[in-house]
Amino acid sequence: MTIVGELINTSRPAVKEAANNRDKDLIIDLAVRQAKAGATYIDVNCGNMINNEDEIMEWLVKTVQSAVEIPLCIDSPSASALDIGLSLCKYGRPMINSISDEEERYDAVAPLIGKYDAKIVVLCMDSTGMPVTSDDRMKVVHKLHEKLTQEGVKEDDMYFDPLVKPISSVTTAGVEVLETIKKTKMEYPNVHFMCGLSNISYGLPNRAILNRLFVVQTMTLGMDGYVLDPTNDKTMADIITAKALLGMDNYCGGYIKAHRKGLLG
Amino acid sequence: MATLQEVSQCVLEGDLDNVKVLVQALIDEGTEPIVIINEGLIAGMNIVAPLFKSGEMFVPEVMESADTMNEGMKLVKPLIMDGDIPSKGKMIIGTVNGDLHDIGKNLLIMMVESRGYTVIDLGVDVKEEDFSAAIKKHNPDIVGMSSMLTTTMMKMESTIAQIKKDGLRDKIKIIIGGAPVTQEFANDIGADGYSMDASTAVELCDRMMSSPEELSA
């Protein structure tokens, strides 16, 4: 299970302020807490710093790596910020979030995958619009799988993001994601998945319960990566428990260990 | 006997089955179609909007209410001339060049339509020159642009530049919105207004239509 810790993102006001003031303590605290909570990657995203994203990216990556030695997921709409962030990654193989089949984005990001031997989050979206059905998504999956394979990217390094949309605006948005996972898994059993969860609950009350159950539902169909807040004990407890139930936890070792640590509630 | 109050209540509750029955009953009883629209259907949405803003109603409920209103409208509209349907103003709206996120835009369209605006939806990924062309063609009062990505935010600026270049800037008000957008950014790029969500955007449009001079100052 790949957990990308999402907390270092300048769209969160406190992080933006810390980045602007170059306040290392807050960033380091977020990095350490996420790593301790079980994040396999730390996401670094400062995409809303339009005027000085490159500079902030450099500072964030260096600051995070001064505190934790785990791989980073470099997250930005800007190819130049991705390039800078990736060039500084010291621990393990980095991940890029993300590539899509929008022409401009594809051409800008594709060369970075090989350049930094990175893993890649593949967003199921192209220039024709946001996908609605699982078939819309599968068209993009097929295309991007083919293109990335031609670029020399291994299946094991591809993390398909089925694009989670709010069920509040389209009732079937959750089901279409589940269908996409099922179909992708059937056609390409060796690729991985990655998704954010909180979009699913946008516009609805009591969002946490929707997010948590959607983890379990997606995991059941083969989802094996999430961008989330690993310091949220309940979500992490759900993931640990679901892994045991899905036979992904030998002798239920992880589950029992988590119980002894008091992590299961 | 059906009442206008019951029609409003239907809209508020998103009662799709009953709204048709009630509106038809009112039509049969001889209630003026315009009255059914204003004091029944739109009046219902006027209750919905503040409840949504205050967090007492949620996105799917608002959508259901809007659908209910539209079901009622379908029965009433053929009975009146297009020009007789009251319109608070005309608006064109789209997501800017390169941006494909349409949930916020669609929500806004629903909210402003239900408040009596005529809306032309330009869709997603609308190029600068297409905004301009649509202004020429439809002659709107307000142009709404949305962007959900930091990469496409700057397209709002280039769209405004295009509108200026085509000599259309003075004829319209421009409002912008979307997750990464702020009031500060709206000021920077010379938009007339910004709102952080769909219900506040409706109020912004109302203010623009009622005192355009004040806002252009």
Please give chain B's pLDDT, 217 residues, in tens: 789 999 999 999 999 999 999 999 999 999 999 899 989 998 998 899 889 888 899 989 988 998 999 999 999 988 887 666 778 899 999 999 888 888 788 888 888 888 889 999 999 889 999 999 999 999 999 999 999 877 788 899 999 999 999 999 999 999 999 888 889 889 999 999 999 888 788 889 999 888 755 544 3
Residue B50: count of CB within 10 angstroms of its CB: 12
- Nearest alpha-carbon partner for A153 in A194, A109, A196: A109
User: What class, spelled out in words, does domain B89-210 have in CATH?
Assistant: alpha beta
* C-alpha span between B60 and B77 (Å, rounded): 25
Res A7 pLDDT > 80: yes
Does A168 lie at the interface with B, CB-CB under 8 angstroms? Answer: yes
CA dist B11 and B170 (Å) reads 38
* Chain segment A222-262, per-residue pLDDT in tens: 999 999 999 999 999 999 999 999 999 999 999 999 999 99
pLDDT at A48: 84
Check whether A151 has a pLDDT greater than 60.
yes
CATH class of A2-260: alpha beta
- Looking at residue B213, its pLDDT comes to 58
Return residue ranges of chain B for CATH 1.10.1240.10. Answer: 4-84
H/E stretch holding B175: strand B173-177
Please give, rounded to a whole number of angstroms, the shortest distance from the CA of A251 to a CA of chain B.
43
The answer to whether A103 contacts chain B (CB < 8 Å) is no
Assign A262 to helix, strand or coil.
Answer: coil
- What is the pLDDT, as a whole number, of residue B217? 37
Give how far B213 is from chain A: nearest CA, Å.
32
Predicted pLDDT of residue A264: 92
Residue type, A106: Y
Which sequence spans correspond to the domains of chain A? 2-260
Residue in A125, A127, A203 closest to B60 by CB: A203
Within chain B, which residue ranges are assigned CATH 3.40.50.280? 89-210
Residues A89-115 have pLDDT tens digits of 999 999 999 999 999 899 999 999 999
Report the pLDDT value the prediction gives residue B57, as an integer from 0 to 100: 92
| pLDDT, position B104 | 82
HEC sequence for B23-51: HHHHHHHCCCHHHHHHHHHHHHHHHHHHH
Give yes or no for residue A202 having a pLDDT over 70: yes
CA separation for the pair A81, A124 (Å, rounded): 22
What is the mean predicted confidence (pLDDT) over A34-57? 94
Level-2 CATH architecture, domain B4-84: Orthogonal Bundle (1.10)
What are the residues of chain B with a beta carbon less than 8 Å away from any beta carbon of chain A?
58-60, 63, 98, 100-103, 106-107, 124-125, 149-151, 153-154, 179-180
Q: What is the pTM of this model?
A: 0.84
Q: What is the DSSP secondary-structure string of B98-158? A: T----HHHHHHHHHHHHTTEEEEEEEEEE-HHHHHHHHHHH--SEEEEE--SHHHHHHHHH
Residue B205 to residue B208: CA distance in whole angstroms? 5
Q: Which residue on chain B is closest to A199 by alpha carbon?
A: B103
What is the predicted pLDDT for the residue at B83? 64
What pLDDT is recorded for position B116? 83
Q: Do the chains contact at A204 and B60, CB–CB below 8 Å?
A: yes
- What ipTM was predicted for this assembly? 0.78
Candidate from A130, A202, A203 with C-beta closest to B100:
A130
Q: Is the pLDDT of residue A10 over 80?
A: yes
